[in-house]
Amino acid sequence: MSDSHLTRRGILGTGVALTALRRTGALADEPGAAESPRASQESAMIDVAITVNGAQHRLGLDPRTSLLDALRNHLGLTATKKGCDHGQCGACTVLVDGVRRNSCLNLAVACDGREIVTIEGLGSEQTLHPMQAAFVAHDAFQCGYCTPGQICSAVGMLSEIERGLPSAATADIAADTMQVAESEIRERMSGNICRCAAYPNIVAAILEAAGKTTG
Ligand code: FES
Ligand code: FES
């Protein structure tokens, strides 16, 4: 067939046929054709070393694995919740080197060498973290689905205030010290959605954990 007889449909058809032959291994003499999809997938795995709640782990992960999936599916730490998986609800919040992060938006490979703390590592049943104790004392949850993310986020948020990082609610960004005001808490926690709307109690719990009284 001369070039002038090549049609778009013909080219597409040839491409589909070649793909099918490659999948069945019929094109064995083609470079790389003998490698099965599984083998190539395995060779694409990347070694990731992370410390989670004080324990060191080495994981062989698909480079596309999110930190959230690594925690839940590979390490069995299912207290960190998957809500939207799109960075919109905050249910998956964990601390990475002390900074709050949406674990669904972070690739596990990007956390290589880092220290992760999840809600399981903040406190224990016997000794709750002060933020966990304040959430219990103030009844700051209903279904509890968002609670692990809320608590991790609140811990990270108080540390941001302590380090003097301003928010959109900060009136004087040049001030030496920053106040843990209710307006600051509401603004800084706005990335953590609670579908039960336990917000007033969440704010009260955070104020208490920050050493304030809610009256
Ligand atoms: S699951 Fe990560 S922000 Fe919603
Ligand atoms: S307590 Fe139910 S979503 Fe927040």
- Encode pLDDT of 38-79 as tens digits: 666 666 999 999 999 999 999 999 999 999 999 999 999 999
Nearest to 79 by CA among 92, 67, 66: 92
Instruction: Quick: pLDDT tens for 184-198.
Output: 999 999 999 999 999
Q: Count other Cβ atoms within 10 Å, centred on residue 185.
A: 25
Residues with CB under 6 A from ligand 2: 141-147, 194-196, 198
The rounded distance, in Å, linking the Cα atoms of 58 and 111 is 12
**Which ligand minimizes its atom distance to the CA of 85?**
1
pLDDT for position 177 = 85
Ligand 1 atom closest to the Cα of residue 81 is 1
From ligand 2's centre to the CA of 197, what distance in Å? 7
* pLDDT at residue 117 in the model: 98
Question: 94 C-alpha vs ligand 1 centroid, how far in Å?
Answer: 11
Model pLDDT for residues 111-166, shown as the tens digit of each residue: 999 999 999 999 998 999 999 999 999 999 999 999 999 999 999 999 999 999 99
List, for residues 152-178, the tens digit of each pLDDT value.
999 999 999 999 999 999 989 888 888
Ligand 1 atom showing the smallest separation from residue 191 Cα: 3
Pocket test for ligand 1, best of 69, 78, 101, 102 (most atoms within 8 A of CB): 102
Distance from Cα 80 to the centre of ligand 1, integer Å: 10
C-alpha distances in Å from residue 175, one per residue of 26, 53, 104? 71, 34, 34
What's the pLDDT at 18? 42
Helix (H, G, I), strand (E, B) or coil at 152: helix
129 φ, ψ (degrees, to nearest 5): -65, 145
Q: Which residues, other chains included, contact 150 with Cβ-Cβ below 8 Å and sequence gap of 6+?
A: 90, 93, 135, 140, 141, 189, 192, 194, 202
Task: Give pLDDT, residue 139.
Answer: 97
Q: What is the dihedral of CA 181, 187, 192, 195, to 10 degrees?
A: 90
Per-residue confidence (pLDDT) for residue 19, from 0 to 100: 45
Q: pLDDT-derived band of residue 12, with 50, 70 and 90 as boundaries?
A: very low
Q: In 34-52, which positions are buried (b, 16+ CB within 10 angstroms) versus exposed (e)?
A: eeeeeeeeeeeeeebebbb
Distance CA 181, CA 98 (A): 22
CA dihedral 151, 153, 155, 156 (to 10 degrees): 170
Among the atoms of ligand 1, which is closest to the Cα of residue 104?
Answer: 2
